[in-house]
Amino acid sequence: MSGVPEHPPTHGAGAYGAVVLAPAAPGGVSARRHAREAAALFARLRADGVLTGLVAPGTGFPGPADVVVPTGAADGADLLTAARLLCVEPEHIAVVTDSPRLVRAAAACGFGLVAGLDGASGGRLRAAGAHLVIDRLDALEVPLPSTPGGPPWGGGHGGHSAWNLRHDGLDPAREGTREALCTLANGYLATRGSACEFPADGTHCPGTYLAGVYNRLRTTVDGRTLEHEHLVNAPDWTRLQYRTGDGPWFAPAPGNVLSWEQDLDLRTGVLTRRLRFRDGAGRTTRVTTRRFVSMERRHVAAQDAEFEAEDWSGALTVRTLVDAGVANRNVRDDAALAHHHLGDPHFTRPAPGVLLAEVRTGQSGVGIAVAARTTTVPEGRAGPRPDPVRPGPRAAGHELRLRLAPGRPARVGTVVAVTTSHDRAISTPALAALAELGRAGGVDELLAEHRTAWQSLWAAFAVSTGARGRQSLAVNLNTFHVLQTVAAADPDLDAGVPARGLHGEGYRGHVFWDEMFVYPMLTLRRPEWTRALLAYRYRRLPAARAAARAAGHEGAMFPWRSGSDGREETPSVLFNPRSGHWMPDNSRLQRHVGLAIAHSVWQYYEATGDTRFLIEQGAELVVEIARFFTSLTTYDPEADRWDIDGVMGPDEYHDGRPGAPGSGLRNNAYTNVMTAWLLTRAVEMVARLEEHYCGPLWQRLDLGEDEVARWDRIRTRLRVPFLTDGVIAQFEGYEQLAEFDWEGYRARYGNIGRLDLILEAEGRSPNDHRLTKQADVLMLLYLFSAEELRELLARMGYAFPAEAVRATVEHYTARSAHGSTLSGVVHSWVEARRDRRSSWAYLTHALDSDLADVQGGTTREGVHLGAMAGSVDILTRCYTGLELREGMLWLHPVIPPELPEVSFSLLYRGRPVQLELTGDALRLYLGPGPAGPLRLRLDDRVHELAPGRLHEFPIRSPGTPRTDARAAPAATAPDPEPTPHA
């Protein structure tokens, strides 16, 4: 009996990242007759990068599973426990069981595929709800994300390539996710991968976004007047209409499309779509479109379409349009808000085949110009003349009438230039757009230089893992989207790092603390990008100072959500669809965003040694943020401790004490420890800059010795709460909270990532329980090595031994809902040395955050850029143990057995280094140059690397004790602590 479904399953998402075996009793799956099959299945799944779990009574299972849940009589709660430990949503898990009872339980809990085992009882298993029944475990085949032709990530797959994301067939339900994953961008201009034939509707959402272009609107909803600022959806330049003969304009649909293939080439940043359709007259036509947003010319993008008649001859009419009738409709939760940000367009035709569209945003008054040139391709070849067309008041373009015949294809190309009034060194956006268009060549010429630009980027940013298609494709695609979002960063572009990239309208295009997860990837390769992006924060320093003063504080209080001008953009209320209520949104109390900015400033300085940056911008940011957090402290003379009250930590679920929502927390451990770190760095920075002339800077800041001395005092006496077992308490009063019914809620709701909404609908509050949305205390072990954190706490008067590190990780891992895509990144990091298998499971989940749309529909609103960058960063910094400290590189490798290798390039203080790590060796090549040797600390020894030579070091096997005096004693546990992190 075949274990392959004959048709794509309609249950679940159709792509399975994990398989869980759940025998009814010891005589079930683990019986001798299934032992060899189970071992073979687990080996095959592991080779494919698929996680495995076992829910079973007793022991004796014949092969290691990634997760084992020992139990008596297994039930749905045990299956959900396995899902939680695997960090995979139930809908992406296949359950295999020989028990009708467990079949019913798995189906009720929403597992994507439920397979019954043992054909003898196949009838009972099918009656219980099994989607398929197999006789043998090694006959099990499920659609996997790396399987060509299978229904994996967002309906796409990599086939046999780690550099191509492919989608086959129409899939309206996942079209929005495809559009986001196939977005093309260059850091200035981004265009979603939408089908060119459609305007915005319930399925399609064309979007073109320009970095830093926002507009503000007001909407009255349920008697409330809400003011909201959004990243603006600019005119759609991709619209393409075509029809055979005098028929209707073609609209792809299941009834007329014979085949549909879409391919995103990550190496070159080109989106190609091939479709064949048959019209009402029986004529078959092949259409191939290519689209790219130039990585060489930030204002330029292009699209061409080739039409070929297969079995007919005659006329084909083609229209290329610029549609200014777009609106911000990408986010369902914002459907009730006003969404028209553009005024009436003005169209002119400066030359034959050229259209100029001018439009202005309503409130911010940003002028946008789109100049579009339509020709047959290649340009210069005789062809039909494009005629002007105006199909509606907000759309205009050109129309061509082509003659087709079998074997005689025709190509139409559109090149566009987009500019705004934000651009430097221009007269008007219209003149600038026309000038850019005039300098741009044809489609083929532009494509050649675009490919060369991507080749240069990949030379700097590619990370090779030697893994099979699934993980390699995820690494490449995540890197690709990060690069697309930031590649235009320079001093002339006033834009930050939107948490959802330039890929949609999620979070309204705002900038959060997520940038802290992005900068490490950039700083070690293109540090000038990090400096330019940090300038976004520096320019908004006056607004942050004003916000602090308005709140009664000193220094600079940066907003949790930032947009155009640096004011707080966090909504005061949010709508809970579960309860139908508007509920307060107090997340603006997450003042720790300022700590993230200061941390990013210092990490950039450590990586580059760029003292000029500190003098010009960085020191001012650090000083003003230090002043703000100092002003939050109050002194307790009895304990000789400083306290911080009224803030929220990264957790986001807790916004106050029980019964006092919105009051903030007292002594959030993350905030207090990071404040101690900040003040330490501020004191150190002032001392370092004494060697340089900084008189005007200190005078402008009015910084004196007394203030620095106060920082020096506070940094050692901030209060940090602890539980009785040495675990760092998330905040003061945490120990008094009730435990949460995790299994009950998972059984009842399945996905509990938004426990805040679930509990509000029940009339309850997260403030009453020990739970977290994402890492809070554990963020400290993400940002610092265990040794560094121990030293930092010791200076504050607290002990944090190795056993407390382990207990802290275990405590919060068991109490996290993982409601943020960043959670998998942090937990993978902190588990890297404690539990490598768990670290790998978290990493694969983080890599899949958008490819598998793990939050169940949010990717369509934009990718999660922090998780994308953070997942790649785990490979390059976490598993190599890479730190930047004391003027040298620190490495302490710990590569998971699932990872054959990690190789990449980095730039440390202007010096190129190539690094390759395998299970038994570390190889580094320092590029030639006039500089002297590079100092490297590998585990407990310092080495000097000569330029122009390959250096190879053997790697100790996991569990071999370190001799570093700061490492935990080997007798306690081998490698008990999280990996070092700069």
Active site residues: 652
Whether residue 302 contacts residue 416, with contact meaning beta carbons closer than 8 Å, is answered with: yes
**Which among 554, 574, 570 is positioned nearest to 562, based on CA atoms?**
570
- Which alpha helices (DSSP H) does 648-753 contain, by range? 669-688, 695-701, 705-714, 742-749
Which one-letter DSSP state was computed for residue 713? H
Whether residue 638 contacts residue 629, with contact meaning beta carbons closer than 8 Å, is answered with: no
Whether residue 805 contacts residue 978, with contact meaning beta carbons closer than 8 Å, is answered with: yes
**Backbone phi and psi for residue 966, each to the nearest 5 degrees, phi listed first:** -90, -5
- Bridge-based pairing of strands 51-56 and 67-70 is parallel
Alpha-carbon torsion 565, 567, 570, 571, what sign? negative
Residues 345, 349, 353: CA angle, nearest 5 degrees: 120
**Which among 796, 820, 789 is positioned nearest to 883, based on CA atoms?**
789
Residue type, 854: V
| SS3 letters across 885-934 | ECCEEEECCCCCCCCCEEEEEEEECCEEEEEEEECCEEEEEECCCCCCCE
Residues with Cβ within 8 Å of residue 28, at least 6 apart in sequence:
34, 56, 97, 98, 99, 117
Peptide linkage before 542 cis (omega within 30 of 0): no
Residues 621, 624, 820: CA angle, nearest 5 degrees: 65
**Which among 184, 192, 191 is positioned nearest to 269, based on CA atoms?**
184
**Which among 44, 84, 20, 156 is positioned nearest to 848, based on CA atoms?**
156
Residues with Cβ within 8 Å of residue 784, at least 6 apart in sequence:
677, 792, 981
Q: Is 462 left (phi over 0), alpha (psi -120 to 50) or beta?
A: beta
How far is the C-alpha of 752 from the C-alpha of 81, rounded, in Å?
13
In sequence order, what DSSP letters do the residues of 672-693 get, joined into one string? Answer: HHHHHHHHHHHHHHHHHGGGS-
| SS3 letters across 592-629 | CHHHHHHHHHHHHHHHHCCHHHHHHHHHHHHHHHHHHH
Residue type, 703: L
Which one-letter DSSP state was computed for residue 460? H
Measured in whole angstroms, the distance separating CA 250 from the mean position of its chain's CA atoms is: 35
Specify which residues 498 forms β-bridges with: 511
- In this structure, what token pair is assigned to residue 485? 């979002």
Alpha-carbon torsion 394, 397, 402, 408, what sign? negative
How far is the C-alpha of 678 from the C-alpha of 676, rounded, in Å?
5
- The Cβ-side half-sphere exposure at 294, using a 13 Å CA radius, reads 23
Whether residue 696 contacts residue 636, with contact meaning beta carbons closer than 8 Å, is answered with: no
Instruction: Using DSSP, state whether 657 is helix, strand or coil.
Output: strand
Whether residue 17 contacts residue 51, with contact meaning beta carbons closer than 8 Å, is answered with: yes
Residue type, 421: S
The length of the chain, given as a count of residues: 982
